[in-house]
Amino acid sequence: MNKHEIPAGLSLMLRDFTVAVLRQKPSDLYLFAADYFQKLSERNRNNNIPSNTNNNCNEDLPAKMERINFGRRRSVAAERYDPEEDEDDDNDDANKKVMHPKTDEQRKRLKEAVQGILLFRSLAPEQMNDVIDAMFERNVDPGDHVIEQGDDGDNFYVIDCGVYDVYVKNEVSRSLLHSGSFGELALMYNMPRSATVVAVTKGRLWAMDRKSFRRIVLRSACKQRKTYESLLEKVPMLQHLDLYERMNLADALTPVYVNDGEMIIKEGDVADGMYFIEHGEVKVTITRNGVECEAARMQAGDYFGEMALVEKAPRSASVYSSGGGTTKLAFLEVDCFERLLGPCLEIMKRNITNYVKSS
């Protein structure tokens, strides 16, 4: 490994630890840290996960380190930010929505640029619209320093086009070509920029200011996490998980919105994950003698799709959104299922056996 390269999984591991500290507020931070990382190590070892990876199934936060020369700020000790203490008060200047006018062509380009950005994957559609509104366009020329190592974080950046080199201590760590994002670490952790980003070619960036990033992305992620934790606490099967395991599971879930009558999973398909119902209702159907028959209805707090994962078999039923309106689901992909729900597998197997007997 290059001596300047950040180990894979480090930033995400530190993020998870920071969130755990903020939520549990331990009186002895050192003792809490020792217990936290010992449990993490044991869990990884039990699941045969290499020690240099994180047990959370989210990808590592873009280790795209950060910087540029657009009137950046130097060392103004960044204020501490706690999403849980941030109230949504429109009279508070820090919480007022920022809107930068855009043409239809600009909005289209920006929507394409933010697709697949990990930080945005848990945002609801209306929050994504806030992201689109809050971002503004920046053009760069070859040699422009977008962010500078050691500076305070001012903006988060999404690449529209162009090639950018990432420098750590004056050595090129990686290159970003026409897509991706950078600059989030300093905003998330109130730390100086950990790298310099220099434009290699002419390019175009979309930027979001520090306050908007925190208001939309960090606070929304915090609220989503609390919502998922509350949802998971009500699932009987998950009562065997401890708080730490439920927190990791909540972090791994991603929102899915399904219109009334739309198919969610199809009988016979390969399983890619399981679902928890956050809001709405679904209808389960099974094909018998060539005829699709309704087998069950499920509502908020129920889950489905686990049978194919437990049995490593194709989907045994189809599931549709029903009941009118939009159904909101929390999706857990197969890799995360296998990694995070080990303690619940026996319960799932018993539930499946009981379901088959009653069918």
* Structural domains for the chain: 9-55 (1.20.890), 61-218 (2.60.120.10), 241-358 (2.60.120.10)
Q: What is the pLDDT of residue 8?
A: 60
Distance from CA of residue 180 to its chain's centroid? 15
User: Binding site membership: which residues?
Assistant: 184, 193, 306, 315
Q: Give, as one character, the DSSP assignment of residue 220.
A: H
Least confident of 51-55, 132-136, 215-219: 51-55
Q: Which of 83-92, 109-118, 151-160 is most confident?
A: 151-160
Long-range Cβ contact pairs of 112-118 (< 8 A, separation 24 or more): 113/158, 113/159, 113/160, 113/179, 113/206, 114/158, 114/206, 117/158, 117/181, 118/58, 118/59, 118/61, 118/62
Residue 212 · residue 18 · CB < 8 Å: no
Res. 36: pLDDT tops 60: yes
Q: Give, as one character, the DSSP assignment of residue 4.
A: T
Residues in Cβ contact with 296 at an 8 Å cutoff, skipping those fewer than 6 apart = 283, 284
Res. 64: pLDDT tops 50: no
Q: What is the pLDDT of residues 224-243, one digit of tens each?
A: 888 888 888 888 778 778 88
Q: What is the pLDDT of residues 112-124, one digit of tens each?
A: 898 878 788 778 7
User: Binding site membership for 3',5'-cyclic AMP: which residues?
Assistant: 184, 193, 306, 315
Mean pLDDT of the chain: 80
Distance CA 319, CA 263 (A): 6
Task: Report, as an integer, the average pLDDT of 340-358.
Answer: 66
- 247 to 25, 30, 255, 259: CA distances (angstroms): 15, 20, 16, 28
Q: What is the pLDDT of residue 282?
A: 96
Tell me, yes or no, if the pTM score tops 0.75: no
Distance CA 253, CA 222 (A): 13
